[in-house]
Homo-oligomer: A and B are copies of this chain.
Amino acid sequence: MPSETPTLTDVARLAGVSENTVSRVVRNKGSIAEETRRRVTSAIDQLGYVPNRAAGSLASSSSLIIGVLLPSLSNIVFPEVLRGIHAALVSTPYQPMIGVTDYDLRQEQKILASMLAWQPAAIITAGFEHTDESRRMLQSNRIRVAELMDIDNRPIDLAVGFSHRKAGRAAAEHLVRRGYRRIAYVGHDWTADRRAFFRYEGLCDGLQQAGLAVAAELRFNGPSSTLAGRDTLGRLQQQAGDVDAVVFSNDDMAVGGFMHCLGDGIDVPAQLALFGFNGLEIGQALPKPLSTIRSNRFLIGKTAAETLLQASERAVEPHIIDTGFDIIEGATA
């Protein structure tokens, strides 16, 4: 009578089969007679058997862990990616193990190393920037790797996201179509957030296409936030007066910009048009819904996890999945 947590052996004994047979039933692998399966599952239920994952991982030298590396949790975008990943995993035996890099590549490398010690089934990372050592670890290991958010790079194995360059261009085209000509940019520190820089590049491209250029620009020296957006727009307006639209690096910044306009009595969009990026809920809850671009963070996470689980081996060629984006027309630009 096992008073401790039951093991495969206990189940096997109760069901009158070998341990291996139980293992195959549990993992649904190989062929098993219907009658045997029934006996085994009933024994499992009776004992409340739960497989020991450590033992399984050790024996098979691979675990049911999916390592997830995120640059930050402060920005709601990444928890939403994580939510998507979780949604894809929730009905599988896989479990996400998360690591936060704080946009620090050396930190990413450290966390990556300790994650690989678990022999995870896959690694999902937001972004393409890695140290050489990280890249080597990901390359040499034949585990599956998804790099998220962006598709403007060649991935190691799988990329899921959309082109931030195109998104930037789309913002420019939208504003030009609406008749804005003196278009400024308010951003945040893009040494950490490379994608924000890609969008900026796309914006410049798009404006150039229309024979225009960025009329003024100011970047907050730190991560994006509503407060940073408010203050930075304020400073921009002191420096450069005659601007008729502002593209922000993201919605957080843009909502802050909107707050600045409210405080200063600036009529949006008549006096100044505002355009964001991400399609966060808060932007849509403003008295005038923010004009912005919807990035499908949840979908990116979900698609990545689902695609990784479809095959345990990498394909010969890296694979890229474009989840696209939509313009949210809004009422601010």
Binding site for B on A (CB under 8 A): 50-55, 57-58, 63, 65, 73-74, 76, 78-80, 82-83, 86, 90, 93, 95-100, 107, 111, 113-119, 225-227, 229-230, 255-256, 259, 262-263, 281-282, 284-287
Copy number of this protein in the oligomer? Answer: 2
Are B65 and A74 closer than 8 Å at their CB atoms? no
Are B50 and A73 closer than 8 Å at their CB atoms? no
Contacts of A54 in B (CB 8 A): 53-55, 57-58, 63, 118-119
Are A95 and B86 closer than 8 Å at their CB atoms? no
Contacts of A286 in B (CB 8 A): 259
Contacts of A226 in B (CB 8 A): 281-282, 285
In Å, the complex CA distance between A54 and B58 comes to 5
Q: A79-B76, A96-B98 are in contact. Are A285 and B51 (CB under 8 A)?
A: no
Contacts of A65 in B (CB 8 A): 97
Residue of B nearest to A51 (CB): B117
Q: A63-B54, A73-B80 are in contact. Are A230 and B93 (CB under 8 A)?
A: no
Are B259 and A262 closer than 8 Å at their CB atoms? no
In Å, the complex CA distance between A118 and B54 comes to 6
Q: A83-B73, A282-B226 are in contact. Are A53 and B100 (CB under 8 A)?
A: no
Among A54, A82, A86, A115, the most chain B Cβ lie within 10 Å of the Cβ of A54
19 cross-chain CB contacts under 8 A: A52-B117, A54-B58, A54-B119, A76-B79, A90-B107, A90-B111, A93-B114, A95-B115, A98-B98, A225-B285, A227-B284, A227-B285, A229-B285, A255-B285, A256-B285, A259-B285, A259-B286, A262-B262, A282-B282
In Å, the complex CA distance between A52 and B285 comes to 49
Shortest beta-carbon contacts, A-B, top 3: A54-B57, A226-B285, A79-B79
Residue of B nearest to A66 (CB): B97
In Å, the complex CA distance between A38 and B189 comes to 42
Are B100 and A95 closer than 8 Å at their CB atoms? no
Contacts of A82 in B (CB 8 A): 73, 98
Contacts of A287 in B (CB 8 A): 259, 262-263
Are A117 and B50 closer than 8 Å at their CB atoms? yes
In Å, the complex CA distance between A239 and B92 comes to 47
Q: Say which residue of B52, B78, B230, B285 sits within 8 Å of A119 (CB atoms).
A: B52
Give A228 Cβ to nearest chain B Cβ, in Å.
9
Q: Say which residue of B93, B97, B107, B259 sits within 8 Å of A96 (CB atoms).
A: B97
Are B100 and A97 closer than 8 Å at their CB atoms? no
In Å, the complex CA distance between A99 and B282 comes to 26
Give A147 Cβ to nearest chain B Cβ, in Å.
20
In Å, the complex CA distance between A263 and B118 comes to 53
